[in-house]
Amino acid sequence: MDVVVLGAGYAGLTLTRLLESRLPAAADITLVNDGADHVLVHELHRVIRRPGAADVISVPIADVLSRASFVNDRVVDVDPEAGEAALAGGDTASWDVGALCLGSETAFYGIDGLREHATPLKSLADAASIREGVGVLCETGGRVVVGGAGLSGIQAAGEIAALVREEGVDAADRPEVVLVEQREEVAPSFPARFSDAVREELTDRGVDVETGTTIERARADALETDAGTLRYDELVWTGGIEGDAAVDRERPTVRGDLRLTESTLALGDAATVVDADGERVPASAAAATREAKTAAENVGRLVEHALGADGGDADGFSPRLDQFRFDVPGWLVSVGDGSVAQVGPSVLRGRPAAVAKAATGAAYLASVGAADNAVDLVETELL
């Protein structure tokens, strides 16, 4: 019995770790990922200002697995119906039960020139590139534009603003940091009180926020928007996501049981999840790790049914699967040295919010077996 997880992001690594203890010994587990490390994408912004944080937010995948086999290779094509994936190295990963957890890539929405001129924030290399570009502007002056005011864009803008302050540049010569958003609010998919607090935090930390502004075209030194031309010297784009190239950039829709086909589940950013209450689940680390718990239970039931371990007939009806309901206690975001947290109806800023964010990140790292990284992350966030 072969169980394969494609992708070792938040969903894939959490799922694999859970399956190691959930599945019977007769099930062989394989995790396939393009790269040897699991990277905390929601903390990439820290590397813009603190390059040493790269080690803190990178976890060697092989070090945190107990019984699963790890294959370091890139998935180039997936056939969920057939239960197989083609790998760049020439091999094929085949499964009796599988999970699509390939995550997402940055979406550029066909905006002319944007892909060519903007740097996304999806990897450690992206963060290093942004740091280098901002470093040049700290010497020459200029303007950094961050496109997209979701959580990633907010954190990138906040970190860049903190970096230019730390470089000791006189206020009059300091590079401008501008955050541009098509919708009328920052963090537009989140509660209004949270969004309002985030906007205040950005403004307090020197970020110029321009909402209600649609980018129509990108040139080498300027953006054409519906509000006019916006010149830039460094352009960062965090405006949205699309699926991995292996699935033709699609994010297939799955319902509460997370089932894409009879034998393949899809979760995390790789899918558009509509939960058991009919609510579309936001693409986030919080959602991905919670989906993984439901997926682990459902994979376990499918495996046990196929093996006859549940007393059922492997050729009969499918087992009853759990339904995922998205219930997150709150939201967290960093803005440079500041933070905003919403816990229930309460919105926190400053030290309490920073503690909440650090504790959440540390708890996640501990849950995937990276205890040392968890301690280091708390020190990075709070000291």
pLDDT tens digits, 125-155:
999 999 999 999 999 999 999 999 999 999 9
Q: Are 62 and 100 in contact (CB under 8 A)?
A: no
Strand-pair partners of 208: 178
- The average pLDDT across 185-208 equals 96
Residue range 80-105, pLDDT digits in tens: 999 999 999 999 999 999 999 999 99
pLDDT bin (cut points 50, 70, 90) of residue 311 is low
End-to-end CA distance of the chain: 48
- The average pLDDT across 230-250 equals 97
Q: Are 257 and 323 in contact (CB under 8 A)?
A: yes
Kindly tell me the sign of the dihedral angle through the C-alpha atoms of 194, 195, 196, 199: positive
For residue 270, pLDDT over 80 is answered with yes
H/E element, 130: helix 124-140
CA distance 12 to 264: 13
Residues with Cβ within 8 Å of 141's Cβ and at least 6 positions away in sequence, in order, are: 173, 174, 175
For the chain, the average pLDDT equals: 95
- The average pLDDT across 348-353 equals 93
